[in-house]
A and B are shown apart, each in its own frame.
Chain A
Amino acid sequence: MIDARTGSKARLTAIVRWAQWRRSIRLLLIHLVLLAGVVLTGAPYLYTITGSFKENSEIFSLPLRFWPQEPTLTNYQRLLSGSEIPFLRQMGNSAVVAVAQTALTLLVVSMVGWGFAKYEFAGKRVLFLALLATLTIPFQVTLVPLFLLMLRLRWVDTYWAIVLPGAVNAFGVFFMRQAMLAVPRDLLDAARIDGASEWGLFWRIGLPLSRGALSVMGLLIFVSSWNDYLWPLIVLRTQQKFTYPLGLATLVGLYKVEYGMILAGAFLASLPVIALFVAGRNQLLQNLTIGSIRG
């Protein structure tokens, strides 16, 4: 009797142990797969950075070396001297465009978001459906007529052509409306009784209470403007006005052998985005999916 009981207990511990062992092996495998993924994802980026500190002769020599033999700043010096393209200026252009785009779009979309979230008015449903329609029609449809319009307005080769159409961001409206629905109505009514204007309600209560959504939306707008290639390629004409993706693309087209310089440019252009990503990572991970999935 006693023997049998200890026997089954021993068997039980063996089973539990085996299950634990199996689980830790599984967990170990998961870690290994994820680490392999990190290496495969990170290697191209890292190689770009290390490559930007190599002489071209080293980039194009076998066997490949991941780390530079004799680290050099030549690529950066040549790129920033502006002898090939005015790269610093183009980065500056990108910054101007992206900042202006972010400020204007945030203002415009949060105003509409506020209008839809906090007021009842005639035509609200129709206008909201019209917005929905925007999301089903791909932007490619508008490229040609929008370009012809820019020609007529004489906005080709100016940043108006980028920033103004860019502010018509239907996704941003949904996102901000979703966030602004949460602003309590009582708070607004109380402020109205205290004599606040409708604009004051939006500016002093609506915007501050939607800070989280504003910062995520702002980050997304900034990054997509900073990275945009197709539309600036269509409307910008001169090297001096180019944003950096156009500049880098010309470098790729013209100087395929000067790869170190191109890599240096790619790295420099990624720095602002990396900085923003690191600074806003928690906000981003929490809020990125709000507008898209529940909205």
Chain B
Amino acid sequence: MSGARRMKLAPYLFISPFFLGYAVFFVYPVLRSLYLSFFEQQGVRSQPRFVGFENYLQLLSDGLFLKALLNTTYYAAGSVFVIVPAALGLALLLTARGLHGREFFRLFFFAPYFTSGVVIAIIFSIVFSRDYGLINNYLLAPLGLPKVEWLRNPVAIMPAIILVGLWHYLGVNALYFLVGLQNIPPELKEAAVIDGAGSWQLFRYVTLPLLRPILIFVVTIAIIGSYNLFAEPAVLLGAEGGPNNAGLFMTMYLYLVGFRFLDFGYASAIGYALALIIIALTLLQLRLMGVFREE
């Protein structure tokens, strides 16, 4: 084969296996899901019946869907306003000059990121147990505080799940921030210090603005991650999300509707609603962070 023809053909051969899979396992399901969302189909064998936008309208009055949406948004707010700031704080501590064991700390806090969701649920079911749990016995009891029913009291369930998220994702987010902090030129900080900036001013007017790209990235994956959450709440609380469905998340509801009730049309509509919410939230967040502002 001639060199020129070879160079023309080769890239297509390299990319074709992937794009074949991409067409079959991604493009087709995405389109099929949109189609299904306009039909009613109960079970594998039943005939689909066209219902137009009925599935989508039904979502608006579906108590469980709205509950799952509320819960998931609660968790997303927790991860953006609790987990992300905590991770930034941790990253700042880890850059302190003269710190001993920096490598150890970095690795240690990062390690939980690799733990399976099911294993995390198992670990945290003994952390949250009312009578034999670590929090109630080792943290609350010494302070004279009463025992909390972390997984049975609907009010306590979401804070408990956010705590699980904090444990799982603190270190990896801190790692992202660390990369950003390392990329800040030291001269900038020195200049600010010479101009008389205190440590808060240094953080507020030098560090934080320069961290913006990383912050945007971390907040985006925190939001997406919230809507993907499944294994931890499903194993900790059961598929329905525990008492009063207080721990029912969006992906759990999709699983229930699609794979327990086999209501494929409605589950597809939930999937699309979920996609729209994630995209809207991401765009809103990018807007708030000023990504679209002309500079």
Contact = CB atoms under 8 A, between A and B. Distances in A.
Interface string B9-37: 01111110111011011101110110010
A144 B258 contact: yes
Given A64-B138, A285-B107, A108 B17 contact: yes
A124 B141 CA distance: 62
A42 to B, nearest CB: 7
A257 to B, nearest CB: 12
A23 B18 CA distance: 55
B203 interface: no
Contact of B11 (A45, A115, A199): A115
B137 A64 contact: yes
B15 A116 contact: yes
A37 interface: yes
A143 interface: yes
A288 B231 CA distance: 24
B235 interface: yes
Contacts of A134: 22, 26
Contacts of B123: 44-45, 48, 266
Nearest to B97: A27
Interface stretch (B60-68, B187-195, B270-278): B270-278
B10 A119 contact: yes
Contact of A167 (B8, B21, B106): B21
Nearest to A134: B26
A223 B119 CA distance: 13
Interface residues of A, number: 90
Interface in B224-279: 224, 227-228, 230-231, 234-235, 250-251, 254-255, 258-259, 264, 267-268, 270-272, 274-275, 278-279
Chain A interface, >50% SS class? helix
Given A43-B134, A192-B3, A249 B118 contact: yes
Contacts of A199: 10
Which 7 pairs from chain A and chain B are nearest by CB? A115-B14, A227-B116, A119-B11, A142-B29, A145-B32, A198-B10, A145-B29
Interface of A: 23, 26-27, 30-31, 33-34, 37-38, 41-45, 47-48, 51, 59-64, 108-109, 111-112, 114-116, 118-121, 124, 127, 130-131, 134, 136-149, 151, 164-165, 167-168, 173, 192, 198-199, 202, 223, 226-227, 229-230, 233-234, 245, 248-249, 252, 259, 262-263, 265-266, 269-270, 273-274, 277, 281, 285, 288-289, 292-293
Interface of B: 3, 6-8, 10-15, 17-19, 21-22, 24-26, 28-30, 32-33, 36, 44, 90, 93-94, 96, 98-100, 105-112, 114-119, 121-127, 131-132, 134, 137-138, 167, 170-171, 175-176, 179-180, 213-214, 217, 224, 227-228, 230-231, 234-235, 250-251, 254-255, 258-259, 264, 267-268, 270-272, 274-275, 278-279, 282
